[in-house]
Structure 1
Amino acid sequence: NAKPFVTHHNALDVDRYLRIAPELYLKRLIVGGMEAVFEINRNFRNEGIDATHNPEFTSIEFYWAYKTYIELMEVTEELFDYLFDNLGLERTLPYGDMEINFATPFAKVPWVDAIVNIGGVPREVAQDRDAGLAYLKERNLKTDENWTLGYVQAELFDEFVEGKLINPTFITDYPVDISPLARRNDENPEVTERFELFMAGKEIANGFSELNDPLDQYGRFKGQVDAKEATGDDEAMHMDTDFVRALSYGMTPTAGEGIGIDRLVMMLTNQHTIRDVLLFPAMRPEAVQEMPKVSATDVCKKCGHDVMEELKPAKKGKGYFCLDVAACKARASERT
């Protein structure tokens, strides 16, 4: 989820949104009969700028019919093996004062187990909404009384787990309420068939078995709309009736994944801010300096020139003369 940039299309008189991801469009291609699609793409998110976030960034997304999130994790490991073999990189690379071991297979840890075993949060706290909120409040961390258990767990994960994931690690089994496009797990319908890949304390990839039930998808979108209204969450998804309609025509069982290319390049090149791997990163505008105001008397006594930076005070008495004597003479002769 992310907040989009909003603009207005004058000819059609409708609001338009720069895409935060190509996901829904690529999945419509799967609905249309394509069995495997990918796109290396530019995405735009109207969010903060920091070491790992830039409003415009590059990723690769791919969707594969008749595959599951388990198979996508295997494909991701194969992709890393291919990159390291063809780039001639050692499997252990420095990243600041850390070392990242990229040897496959990567570790796989379920969501709640990560919060408990890596984050050190008691299991009874991690699995109970009210206990989780109290745990966060005791530590003066961000809370919201409208949060569901999934959102409470997400805050616990962000605070106590993410920064500790140094070597590549798949976190799996995300809650339904924070995974609006992912398929429910058949054995435990409260969680989804979703994973995220972390390394050096940063998320690199997000993938899941796709939700292809139009009624369930409509309900998930409705939940996101309700969350937006209840909490003012700008990152909650809007109701996409076109996508729900596409699902109603039928989408084969599919799995999809997105990998952040810029962040991956950061890992491989030991760079610690995303702007160091972008040619044109978003930067804060420089403060505009006001030019000194020139009064009626702040002009050259010889030629009347009035650009303050090109004048110098007279040695005796009041007044100014030009720094460029030759230009001053030329202007003075023009006046006569």
Structure 2
Amino acid sequence: MDEFRLKKAETLRKKGTPPYAAKCDRTHTLEEGKGSKDGTKIRTAGRVMLFREMGGMIFATLQDHTGRLQVAWKADEIPEEEFKNVQEFVDLGDIIGISGERFTTKKGEPTILVKEWTMLSKALRQPPEKWHGIADQETAWRQRYLDLMSNRETYDRFLFRSLFLRRLREFYWAHDFIEVETPVLTNAASGALATPFVTHHKGYDLDVFLRIAAGETFQKECLVGGFDRTFEVARCFRNEGLDPSHLQDFTMVEHYAAYWDYEQNMAFTEEMLSIILKDLMGTTKLQIPNREGKLLAVDFKPPWPRASIAELIQRDCGIDIHSTATANALRAEIVKKKIRLEVDIASLERGNLIDQLYKKVSRPKIVQPTFLTNHPTDLSPLARLNDDDPAITDRFQLVVGGWEIVNA
């Protein structure tokens, strides 16, 4: 902590002014204050982001959850002692409350002429040198509060996530889904192929697992019990490697609908995501990073193309997986084509070979939202077999910008 800031906090206490106020009754947010007419009486609050003195005036830029607004103190508008208190006690990072009157400067800047002010929360640490944007990614991740304060893009990302989940729930509810909450601690790590976190239940003297998927078994039990459509927004945990598409704890959304086939599920997914993005962003055209971090232009406007995994592999490397019925035959084709996969192919079964081949030659080329269908049975042995061709399954994945974002 900064000893000079600590002394300022102590001095405020001695003066009878708590450096950490219990509350602040605002009449306006900063954005509302900015949009008000000149002459409007305003009481608001925010964090001091800029602070400068110019002759007989002090200017500060405050920031709250809605944006930023300039405020100003004039030496001839408030008591001399109060003006000196502003000079002595206000630092960058402090949260202050002010009341005054809105006016517009000669340069056209909306500003509040402060008549009264109070310290709401005295910052005891000096803000980082790059106060107007944390450039170091490690600092941004480990001290997210600094990232949020200084990078509006980060703040907007947090806000978008919250709004997205709210709109997602509303869409489910509008389509007669009910939200369920299933156990995080389970006796078996099911619903995906992943390494679970293990903990010990003292009450039962039993090892249990943190779930690796969003309550698949429990949601299916809900359908067996009579519910028609369910969904869950679930925190999941996987004790595996870390990369841009894998975190040890993450949010997964999973839903189940009785009487639907996978075609209806695709249509629902397409409608849901395209409508939500249009509602929140005002457009279906976005830019998202691929696995190398390069921004790609993506349009979620339906209809989205559908392609079988066999079609993509044959298009992208010339291998017909239908004519390679065994793992050895497929392995020979991969070697013949001089395709180097990311794993040792010597011991892989046919299903895993198909999966690794697709991820190598096809997935990076998928930019626009695309439904991947007709997965071979040995790639998805637990999925429902197709009625017309039992060699493939009734399931799909949604791939965007090289990322698999839906698996069903």
| Superposition deviation, residue 145 in structure 1 | 4.1
1:157-306 equivalences in 2 (<5 Å): 157-207=358-408
Give percent identity, aligned residues only: 35
CA distance in 1, matches of 2:317, 2:388: 26
Report the equivalent of 1:315. Answer: none
Report the equivalent of 1:127. Answer: 324
Report the equivalent of 1:64. Answer: 257
The CA RMSD measured in Å over matched residues stands at 1.9
CA distance in 1, matches of 2:277, 2:205: 49
Structure number with the higher strand fraction is: 2
What is the letter of the counterpart of residue 356 of structure 2? Answer: E
Q: In 2 relative to 1, CA 171–127 (structure 1 residues): closer, same or farther, beyond 3 Å? A: farther
* Matched residue SS, 1:177: coil
1:5 to 197, 203, 215: 197
Q: Deviations over 1:142-176 (max 9, x none)?
A: 23444332111001011111111100000001122
* Matched residue SS, 2:231: strand
In structure 2, stretches of 5+ residues that fail to align are 1-192, 289-293
1:40-59 equivalences in 2 (<5 Å): 40-59=233-252
CA distance in 1, matches of 2:322, 2:356: 12
Report the equivalent of 1:107. Answer: 305
| Superposition deviation, residue 191 in structure 1 | 1.6
In structure 1, stretches of 5+ residues that fail to align are 208-336
Q: How many residues align?
A: 206
What is the letter of the counterpart of residue 244 of structure 2? Answer: A
Q: In 2 relative to 1, CA 18–177 (structure 1 residues): closer, same or farther, beyond 3 Å? A: farther
Task: Tell me whether 80-89 or 39-48 shows the greater mean CA deviation.
Answer: 80-89
| Superposition deviation, residue 181 in structure 1 | 3.6
Alpha carbons 1:26, 1:63 under 8 Å: kept: yes
Alpha carbons 1:133, 1:143 under 8 Å: kept: no
CA distance in 2, matches of 1:48, 1:122: 31
Alpha carbons 2:350, 2:379 under 8 Å: kept: no
1:30 to 219, 223, 233: 223
Structure number with the higher helix fraction is: 1
Report the equivalent of 1:298. Answer: none
1:91 to 284, 300, 310: 284
Alpha carbons 1:5, 1:45 under 8 Å: kept: yes
| Superposition deviation, residue 12 in structure 1 | 2.2
Alpha carbons 1:112, 1:126 under 8 Å: kept: no
Q: In 2 relative to 1, CA 123–85 (structure 1 residues): closer, same or farther, beyond 3 Å? A: same
Alpha carbons 1:169, 1:199 under 8 Å: kept: yes
Greater relative CO (CA pairs within 8 A, separation 6+): 1
Alpha carbons 1:170, 1:197 under 8 Å: kept: yes
* Matched residue SS, 2:404: strand
Question: TM-score with structure 1 length normalisation?
Answer: 0.57
